[in-house]
C-alpha cells in the first residue's frame, strides 16, 4: 500500500534545528562572539557590507555568524534586512578628497602630494603560514607616527589640470536607485557603478581580469587607490545646513587608462572608477576596470564583443544573490516538468524506434 | 523574523505593496504584457518564488484564505515554507481546498478543480520572457514584443516539427494572449495550458529576480501556439491515478522500487484526496485516514 510522503513541515523544523546545532559546532569550543568577528574577520565583514549594500559592521558580523561563514548567505541576510528599512533621506555626496586615509598608493607617480602610504596591506607579506597564530599570543604594537595634516588630493585631479585626462562631467542629478526601480537597459553610468559596487566580488574580479587578458583591453594603471574614512553629511531641512551624521570606511580606486583617441575624443588618458564600502581593494580595483571597459560607447571605442564591454551581460549577472538563488532553485522539486519531459522523450523514442524498425 | 510584530501585514511595507499593485493593475490592463517592477529582496532566495510571494503579499487582505501549492501539492517543502511565511506575517487563514481558497499561490501547476470568479491564482515565474532562450538580450526581446515580431518563435516551433515530427516543448509552453502578446505561462506542463484561457479567476504572474509582473484577467483568451496541421495537444501520462482512479488529472510518476516498478498519482494532492474521500479508489489506493488530510 502506497502512502504519499507527508511531513514537509516536520522535516523543515528538524532541518532548522540541526542547522543551528551545526552552526554552533562542538560546544566544548567556546562560542564565537559577534564582536570577535567584527574585529578579527574585518575583511569578511567589509565584503558583506559592500555586497549587502548596508554599512553596519555589527549586523554584517552577526550575519556572518548566522551564515556559518558563508559570505554569500550572509550578504543575503543583510540584503533581506536592508530592504525592510525605511528611507529617511539621502546624504550629500561624500568627499573622498577629504578622506582620512590609512592607505593611499599611486602606481603612476613615485611621489606625490600627500605621499604614498602603504597602510595595513598584505601586498608585501610573504604568504607563509604563520604557525604562531595557531597558538595564543598577543601581537606586538605596530610603530606609529603622527598623522600628516597635509591634504591628499586626487591624482587624477592633478592630471586633469594639464588636460591629460578626460574630464568627468559634473552634475547634480539625483542618481537612480537600483533597489527601488527595476533596471532598464541601456543604463547610465551611475546605475552601472551602483550595480558593480554591490556585485559579486568574484564575478567582478573575473570580468576585470578578462579585460587585462585582452577581452576588451583598456590597459589600466592604478592612478590611485585610497582607503580611509569619510564623513557622511546630511542636509537637515529644519536647520538649513548639513550636519555630519557619521563616518564610513571606503576604498576608492581610480585607474588611468591608455587611450589613443577615437573618432569623437582626442588622445588623452581616460578613467575607470571604483568605490566600495570598507577595506575592499581587490573589489575596488576590479570595479574600476569593469567600469572603464563598459564606457566604450561614450568614448567612441569599438565594441570588440568582449564580455566586459557588454553592459547587459555584466549587469544582469553580477548580483550573487540573484545568481545563487536561481542556481540553487534547481534543487527544488521539478517533478511536474520532469514528468512532462519524460512523457515527451518516451514518445519521441517510440517514434524514432518505430521509424528505425520500419527502415530495416 | 524573530519578532513578527516588527513587520508590516504580509511582510512588505505599504509603499512597496502600492508599487506592486500598480504593476499588477497595469498588467491586468494589458494582458500578457510584462510590466517591470522594483522587485524587493525577500527573506527567501530568488528562485524560491519571490515574485509570487510579492504578488501574493500585495493582494492579501486579512479576510483572505490562502492556499499554496508546489508541483500541485500542498505538502511539498517549499509550499509549506511559503504558506508558513504568510501565516506568520499576515496571520491569514490557510486552506488546502482549492474551492475554499481566495488566493492560491502556485508553482508549476494549475489546480485540477476549476477556479471560480473572485479567486486569484498567483504563479511563481522563473523566466518571464517566452523569447529568452531564442534571444538572450532583454533589449532585443522587448523590441520584438513592441513590434509583435514573433517570427523567431514560429521558426523554433517549425524546426521542432521538422526535426522531431512534433513541437518538442512539454512545459513552459508559450501562449498568445488576446491576439497580441506572446506570454510565458511559467513552467506548468502543457497539460495545464487549456486552463489559462477563459479562466474565471484572475491569474497573476510574478517574476522576482527578473523584476516582471504580468496578468491574465478573467475570461481572457490565451491560445497555445501551434500550426493548423500540427495543432496543440495537451498531454499527460497515459494512465489513471493509482490512488483515486482519476482518468483525467495530471500525474506524477513515483518510482516504488529499484526493479522498475512505478505508480502514477495525481500531482494535485487536494484533488486526489477529495476524490478518495468521495469514495473513488484506485488500484493502489486506500481510503485516506482523516488525520493526514490536514
CB pairs under 8 A between A and B: 152
Q: In the predicted model, what is the mean pLDDT of residues B103-112?
A: 97
Interface test with B, best of A84, A305, A310, A346 (most B CBs within 10 A): A84
Q: What is the ipTM of this complex?
A: 0.85
Q: In the predicted model, what is the mean pLDDT of residues B102-106?
A: 98
Q: List A residues 316-335 in contact with B (Cβ-Cβ < 8 A).
A: 316, 321-322, 324-330, 332-335
Phi first, then psi: give them for residue A103, nearest 5 degrees: -150, 135
A317-321, A333-337, B118-122: least confidently modelled range: A333-337
Task: With a cut of 80, say whether residue B55 has pLDDT above it.
Answer: yes
The per-residue pLDDT for B100 is 97
Q: Is the dihedral of CA A247, A318, A65, A101 positive or negative?
A: negative
Q: List A residues 268-297 in contact with B (Cβ-Cβ < 8 A).
A: none
The per-residue pLDDT for B181 is 98
Catalytic residue among B27, B32, B51, B208: B32
CA distance B75 to chain A (A): 6
The per-residue pLDDT for B5 is 55
Q: In the predicted model, what is the mean pLDDT of residues A1-25?
A: 81
- Cis ω before B235 (30° cut-off from 0): no
Query: What mean pLDDT, rounded, does chain A reach?
Result: 92
The per-residue pLDDT for A131 is 87
Q: In the predicted model, what is the mean pLDDT of residues A127-143?
A: 86
Tell me whether residue B244 is one of the annotated catalytic residues.
Answer: yes
Report domain extents, chain A. Answer: 9-82, 96-119+149-168+179-323
Query: What is the residue whose three cell numbers read 577595506?
Result: A279
- pLDDT band at A99; cut points 50, 70, 90: very high
Q: In the predicted model, what is the mean pLDDT of residues A216-238?
A: 93
Closest CA to A100 of A42, A152, A155, A47: A152
The per-residue pLDDT for B4 is 47
Chain B residues near residue A59 by CB distance under 8 angstroms: none
Tell me whether residue B59 is one of the annotated catalytic residues.
Answer: no
Q: In the predicted model, what is the mean pLDDT of residues A219-232?
A: 95
Q: Residue B73's beta-bridge partner residues?
A: B70
CA distance A52 to chain B (A): 11
Q: What is the 3-state secondary structure (H, E, C) of B47-90?
A: CCCHHHHHHHHHHCCCCCEEEEEECCECCCHHHHHHHHHHHHHH
Chain A residues near residue B243 by CB distance under 8 angstroms: 2, 4
A37-46, A244-253, A299-308: least confidently modelled range: A299-308
Closest CA to B205 of B65, B59, B84, B41: B59
Nearest to B47 among A325, A340, A347 (CB): A325
Interface test with A, best of B45, B132, B249, B272 (most A CBs within 10 A): B45
Task: With a cut of 80, say whether residue B199 has pLDDT above it.
Answer: yes
Task: With a cut of 60, say whether residue B294 has pLDDT above it.
Answer: no
User: Which three three-digit cell numbers place residue B219?
Assistant: 475570461
Segment A38-94, tens digit of pLDDT:
999 999 999 999 999 999 999 999 999 999 999 999 999 999 999 888 888 889 999
Q: What is the DSSP letter of B2?
A: -
> Is A312 an interface residue toward B (CB < 8 Å)?
yes
The per-residue pLDDT for A7 is 63
The per-residue pLDDT for B217 is 98
Task: With a cut of 70, say whether residue A331 has pLDDT above it.
Answer: yes
Q: How many Cβ atoms sit within 10 Å of the Cβ of residue A298?
A: 13
Task: With a cut of 60, say whether residue A2 has pLDDT above it.
Answer: no
Segment B4-17, tens digit of pLDDT:
456 789 999 999 99
Segment A21-47, tens digit of pLDDT:
999 999 999 999 999 999 999 999 999
Task: With a cut of 70, say whether residue B290 has pLDDT above it.
Answer: no
Tell me whether residue B32 is one of the annotated catalytic residues.
Answer: yes
Segment B65-91, tens digit of pLDDT:
999 999 999 999 999 999 999 999 999
The per-residue pLDDT for B213 is 98
Closest CA to B112 of B216, B251, B219, B240: B251
Cα separation, A20 vs A30, whole angstroms: 16
Chain B residues near residue A344 by CB distance under 8 angstroms: 168, 170, 235
CA distance B220 to chain A (A): 25
- pLDDT band at B286; cut points 50, 70, 90: confident
Chain A residues near residue B191 by CB distance under 8 angstroms: 340
Chain A residues near residue B108 by CB distance under 8 angstroms: 334, 336-337
The per-residue pLDDT for A146 is 87
Q: In the predicted model, what is the mean pLDDT of residues A123-131?
A: 92
Segment A306-324, tens digit of pLDDT:
999 999 999 999 999 999 9
Cα separation, A105 vs A110, whole angstroms: 9
Segment B155-196, tens digit of pLDDT:
999 999 999 888 989 999 999 999 999 999 999 999 999 999
Catalytic residue among B49, B72, B272, B282: B272
Contact A167, A269 (CB under 8 A): no
Chain B residues near residue A52 by CB distance under 8 angstroms: none
The per-residue pLDDT for A282 is 97
Chain B residues near residue A330 by CB distance under 8 angstroms: 47
The per-residue pLDDT for A55 is 97
User: Which three three-digit cell numbers place residue A198?
Assistant: 554591490
Task: With a cut of 60, say whether residue A1 has pLDDT above it.
Answer: no
Tell me whether residue B272 is one of the annotated catalytic residues.
Answer: yes
Contact flag A325-B209 (C-beta cutoff 8 Å): yes
Segment A141-176, tens digit of pLDDT:
999 988 888 889 999 888 888 888 888 888 888 889
Q: In the predicted model, what is the mean pLDDT of residues B208-232?
A: 96
Question: Strand A270-277 relative to strand B251-255: parallel, antiparallel, unpaired?
Answer: unpaired
The per-residue pLDDT for B2 is 45
Task: With a cut of 60, say whether residue B287 has pLDDT above it.
Answer: no
Sequence-distant (6+) residues with CB within 8 A of A298 are A189
> Is A148 an interface residue toward B (CB < 8 Å)?
no
Closest CA to A82 of A39, A50, A46, A40: A50
Contact flag A339-B253 (C-beta cutoff 8 Å): yes
Query: What is the residue whose three cell numbers read 493502489?
Result: B284
Contact flag A340-B37 (C-beta cutoff 8 Å): no
Contact flag A182-B36 (C-beta cutoff 8 Å): yes
Chain B residues near residue A326 by CB distance under 8 angstroms: 46-47, 126, 209
The per-residue pLDDT for A237 is 86
Q: List A residues 12-41 in contact with B (Cβ-Cβ < 8 A).
A: 12
CA distance B47 to chain A (A): 5
Amino acid at each position: 500500500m502506497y502512502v504519499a510522503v507527508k511531513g514537509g513541515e516536520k522535516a523543515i523544523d528538524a532541518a532548522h534545528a540541526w542547522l543551528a546545532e551545526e552552526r554552533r559546532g562542538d560546544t566544548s569550543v567556546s562560542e564565537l562572539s559577534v564582536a570577535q568577528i567584527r574585529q578579527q574577520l574585518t575583511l569578511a565583514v567589509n565584503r558583506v557590507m559592500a555586497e549587502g549594500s548596508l554599512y553596519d559592521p555589527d549586523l554584517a558580523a552577526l550575519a556572518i555568524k548566522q551564515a556559518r561563514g558563508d559570505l554569500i548567505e550572509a550578504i543575503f541576510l543583510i540584503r533581506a534586512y536592508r530592504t525592510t528599512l525605511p528611507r529617511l533621506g539621502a546624504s550629500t555626496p561624500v568627499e573622498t578628497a577629504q578622506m582620512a586615509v590609512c592607505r593611499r598608493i599611486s602606481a603612476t607617480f613615485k611621489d606625490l602630494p600627500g605621499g604614498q602610504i602603504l597602510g595595513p596591506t598584505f601586498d608585501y607579506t610573504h604568504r607563509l603560514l604563520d604557525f604562531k597564530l595557531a597558538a595564543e599570543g598577543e601581537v606586538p604594537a605596530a610603530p606609529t607616527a603622527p598623522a600628516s595634516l597635509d591634504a591628499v588630493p586626487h591624482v587624477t585631479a592633478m592630471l586633469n589640470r594639464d588636460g591629460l585626462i578626460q574630464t568627468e562631467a559634473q552634475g547634480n542629478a539625483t542618481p537612480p536607485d537600483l533597489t527601488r526601480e527595476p533596471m532598464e537597459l541601456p543604463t547610465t553610468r551611475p546605475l552601472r557603478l551602483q550595480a558593480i559596487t554591490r556585485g559579486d566580488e568574484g564575478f567582478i574580479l573575473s570580468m576585470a581580469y578578462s579585460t587585462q587578458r585582452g577581452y576588451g583591453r583598456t590597459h589600466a594603471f592604478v592612478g590611485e587607490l585610497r582607503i580611509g574614512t569619510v564623513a557622511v553629511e546630511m542636509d537637515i531641512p529644519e536647520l538649513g545646513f548639513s550636519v555630519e551624521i557619521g563616518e564610513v570606511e571606503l576604498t576608492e580606486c581610480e585607474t588611468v587608462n591608455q587611450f589613443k583617441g577615437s573618432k569623437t575624443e582626442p588622445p588623452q588618458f581616460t578613467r575607470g572608477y571604483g568605490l566600495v564600502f570598507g577595506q575592499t581593494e581587490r573589489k575596488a580595483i576590479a570595479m574600476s576596470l569593469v567600469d572603464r571597459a563598459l564606457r566604450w560607447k561614450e568614448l567612441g571605442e569599438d565594441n570588440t564583443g568582449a564580455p566586459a564591454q557588454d553592459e547587459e551581460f555584466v549587469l544582469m549577472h553580477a548580483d550573487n544573490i540573484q545568481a545563487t538563488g536561481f542556481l540553487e532553485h534547481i534543487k527544488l522539486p521539478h517533478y511536474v516538468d520532469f514528468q512532462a519531459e519524460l512523457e515527451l522523450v518516451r514518445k519521441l523514442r517510440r517514434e524514432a524506434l518505430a521509424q528505425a524498425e520500419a527502415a530495416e | 523574523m524573530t519578532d513578527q510584530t516588527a513587520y508590516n501585514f504580509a511582510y512588505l511595507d505599504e509603499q512597496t505593496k502600492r508599487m506592486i499593485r500598480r504593476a499588477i493593475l497595469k498588467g491586468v490592463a494589458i494582458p500578457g504584457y510584462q510590466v517591470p517592477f522594483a522587485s524587493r529582496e525577500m527573506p527567501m532566495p530568488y528562485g524560491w518564488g519571490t515574485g509570487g510571494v510579492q504578488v501574493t503579499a500585495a493582494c492579501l487582505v486579512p479576510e483572505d484564505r490562502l492556499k499554496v501549492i508546489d508541483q500541485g501539492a500542498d505538502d511539498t517543502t517549499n509550499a509549506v515554507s511559503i504558506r508558513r511565511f504568510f501565516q506568520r506575517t499576515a496571520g491569514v487563514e490557510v486552506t488546502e481546498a482549492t474551492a475554499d481558497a481566495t488566493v492560491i499561490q502556485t508553482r508549476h501547476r494549475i489546480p485540477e478543480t476549476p477556479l471560480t470568479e473572485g479567486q486569484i491564482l498567483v504563479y511563481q515565474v522563473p523566466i518571464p520572457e517566452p523569447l529568452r532562450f531564442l534571444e538572450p538580450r532583454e533589449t532585443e526581446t522587448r523590441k520584438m514584443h513592441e513590434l509583435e515580431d514573433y517570427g523567431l518563435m514560429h521558426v523554433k516551433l517549425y524546426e521542432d516539427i521538422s526535426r522531431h515530427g512534433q513541437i518538442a516543448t512539454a512545459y513552459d509552453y508559450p501562449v498568445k494572449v488576446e491576439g497580441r502578446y506572446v506570454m510565458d505561462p511559467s513552467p506548468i506542463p502543457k497539460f495545464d495550458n487549456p486552463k489559462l484561457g477563459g479562466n474565471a479567476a484572475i491569474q497573476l504572474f510574478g517574476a522576482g529576480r527578473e523584476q516582471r509582473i504580468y496578468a491574465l484577467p478573467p475570461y481572457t483568451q490565451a491560445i497555445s501556439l501551434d500550426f493548423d496541421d500540427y495543432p496543440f495537444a495537451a498531454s499527460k501520462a497515459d494512465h489513471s491515478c493509482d490512488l483515486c482512479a482519476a482518468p483525467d488529472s495530471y500525474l506524477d510518476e513515483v518510482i516504488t522500487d529499484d526493479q522498475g516498478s512505478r505508480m502514477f498519482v495525481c500531482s494535485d494532492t487536494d484533488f486526489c484526496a477529495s476524490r478518495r474521500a468521495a469514495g473513488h479508489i484506485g488500484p493502489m489506493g486506500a481510503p485516506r485516514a482523516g488525520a493526514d488530510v490536514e
